A and B are shown apart, each in its own frame.
Chain A
Amino acid sequence: MVDQLHNIIRGCQEKKPEAQRALYDMFKAKMFGICLRYAGNYDDAQDIMQEGFVKVFEKIHQFRFSGAFEGWIRKVMVNTALEKYRLHYRQVPVDENTVGPEMEEDKNIGSDIDACILLKTIQELSPKYRIVFNLYALEGYTHKEIGELLHISEGTSKSNLSRARAILQEKVSKIYIKSVQTY
């Protein structure tokens, strides 16, 4: 499997169209899943996906086979999403000192909510909350790193994360209650 991937990557480094298609088919579902999390809607996710894969093919000659390729391609996708965010949402005012409400313990979080519904709750967040939540909760970045990535302060990153959590918590709770009531 690894050898097959490396052969495909080498083919892409030589700009062979069949190798590019094979690589796309191999990672398209995973990468589109990431794009959907960072985008506000399906169309934006498609745009990120397109730009991200074009970058992957343009930059793939830089891949030195020293690390995991999936991590590399994932990072390209995330960075593409961030560039798009910076491009379109840099004018969005930032609440520097607003710290969101602390989370209250909620036992309603269940494991049976459909992933697509959860995805929708993330997409409905405002861009600044969505990006920070994705980077922190799902990618594992620290607030310092997020601040440097988005050119905001650590405090703003924490504030945005806190607000995102509160909104998500509220929405998940409502979804859960609604699903219980239907039974």
Chain B
Amino acid sequence: MHENDKIDRYFREQLGSFEQSPPDATWNAIAQKLDKTKRKGIMLLLFRIAAGMAILISTGIGYYLIHQPDKSTTAPKVAFNEKSAVTGINKVSTLPGKPSGNLSSNQLQHNKPAREIRTDREHVLDNVQIESTVKEKPIIESIIPVQAYAFYGFAPVPIEGRKAAHLQMMLSNDMSLAQQRRSDTITEEEAIALVMAEYNEAFSDELPSPERKQRWILGSEVAPLYSSRTINSGSLEQETLDNLNKSESGILAYAGGVRIAYATSKRLSIQSGLYYSRYGQKKNDAQVYNMNYAGSPTLSDVDVLLSVTNSTGIISGSGETGIGNTAVTNDLGVSAENSNHKDLMSYNMSNDAESAEGVVLKQYFDYFEVPLILKYKMIDRKIDVSFSGGLVTNFLIGNKVDMIMDGKSYDIGETSDINEINYSGSFGLGLEYPLVTNFDLTLEPRFRYYLNSIDKSSQLLVHPYSFGFFAGINYRF
């Protein structure tokens, strides 16, 4: 071995401090790469913003297209097929001194060509069909649906079967009465209102719920969530990424906050708010060593020295854990980027058999979040079903690293080198159930994915994601 040391020493002495200037072209290549990296980062950020905008715009356009036909929904013109039922109505429609031609201009404006109306109103009555002209139109035919809906503030709904029959019966009987009363004081509108009121009373349990006039929503919600991250890199080997994925996993965390929403229409609302979320991940392959700091004045006041190769940021110690004389690492031989490694390698370490097993490092990241979400109600029933999507701005307000060892948790430091402002995309499928007046219970599975890498390094792109089950209460006003 002596000879081996000799050849080693010989080369060390001759080449240990060997220096040679590189060609000038080397710097030019480095400068070009740096410039390219900078541009790539800017382009990536712009692309993600554009992608987010595209989602919002496409959602908006989708909503607009879906709802456009509703704007043409005006007064349907209806006539009863069955002559027997028409009798009474015709009496009303041809009230003395009130020929159909005397319809008010307001009423006439509601009368649109049958072709247009059919598309919106085919379902009005089983035995009611649409006419194509205003001429000889009975007043009731022109007015009932629109005036009644407008009067009661209901959304137009199909009236079928038993309800239709009952309505015809009422119209036959009550409109005659209305006609009689009309000769004294009652107007056509009042007559129709009387009919519809009776109808409503008879079918109050089957009527659709009144359209919600409240446009503002104030709510709060909380969620348990699972958070983890994806990693990719343009320069690191796949093997390195695989090793990181094997040694790291997600954690259960939580989120909660208040939201305020404004319903721009019956189905679409836009919402924002302020949320607090905790995300994180854990490192499962950490090892703990006892360190001998003897003769180390610079490290004598450090009780935990960290040198951990991980995907997200740099795990750095606070030096105030109280554990004492301990080194935590998952790889004694790597981490050139971690300057602690140099210190760690310089001191004697003895593997602590008791605490070397089952040591887990948990990285927690705390955020304030401000979302901008579009919510579209796909099903509007007693239990509403909505799809929501949008962008969230995440402000990092704190982070910490806990070490779980022997069943105990130690706050050993924090993660540095991570971005403080991030952007994420959010998608959810929500259920809404009315509890009491103006209060709704909400449940929403929600997926969130960070659009930018939270790690400042451009070498490793770390995108956290979370899946949470949000439950909360809404107050409408």
Q: A residues near B, CB below 8 A?
A: 15, 17, 20-21, 24, 28-30, 32-33, 35-37, 45-46, 49-51, 53-55, 57-59, 61-64, 66-68, 71-72, 75-76, 78-79, 83, 86-87, 90, 102-106, 109, 111, 113, 115, 118-119, 122, 133, 136-138, 141, 144-149, 162, 165, 168-169, 172
Contacts and interface: CB of A to CB of B under 8 A. Distances in A.
A144 B351 CA distance: 14
Interface string B1-28: 0011011101111111111111101110
A28 B22 contact: yes
Contacts of B3: 102-106
Contact of A79 (B13, B14, B26, B334): B334
* Chain A contact residues, majority secondary structure: helix
20 contacts: A32-B21, A33-B15, A33-B18, A36-B20, A46-B29, A49-B26, A50-B29, A61-B417, A67-B339, A78-B336, A79-B337, A102-B3, A103-B4, A111-B13, A113-B14, A115-B14, A137-B12, A141-B333, A149-B333, A169-B7
A103 to B, nearest CB: 4
B7 A109 contact: yes
B341 interface: yes
Contacts of B14: 111, 113, 115, 118
A145 B3 CA distance: 23
Nearest to A148: B333
A54 B333 contact: no
Contacts of B314: 62
Given A87-B237, A105-B3, A168-B11, A79 B457 contact: no
B332 A109 contact: no
Contacts of A115: 14-15, 18
B336 A76 contact: yes
B97 to A, nearest CB: 88
B239 interface: yes
A9 B419 CA distance: 21
Contacts of A162: 4
Contact of B37 (A58, A118, A145): A58
B181 interface: no
Interface of B: 3-4, 6-8, 10-23, 25-27, 29-31, 33-34, 37-38, 235-237, 239, 314, 316, 331-334, 336-343, 416-417, 456-459
Nearest to A78: B336
Given A86-B237, A109-B6, A50 B26 contact: yes
Given A75-B342, A138-B11, A138-B15, A32 B22 contact: yes
Contact of A148 (B11, B25, B33, B332): B332
A62 B21 contact: no
Given A54-B37, A78-B336, A138-B15, A71 B417 contact: no
Given A50-B30, A79-B336, A136-B8, 7 more contacts: A15-B38, A24-B27, A28-B27, A33-B17, A49-B22, A54-B34, A122-B11
A68 B342 CA distance: 9
A138 B6 CA distance: 12
A35 B15 CA distance: 12
B336 A75 contact: yes
Contacts of A28: 21-22, 26-27
Given A59-B457, A149-B334, A24 B30 contact: yes
Contacts of B20: 29, 32-33, 36
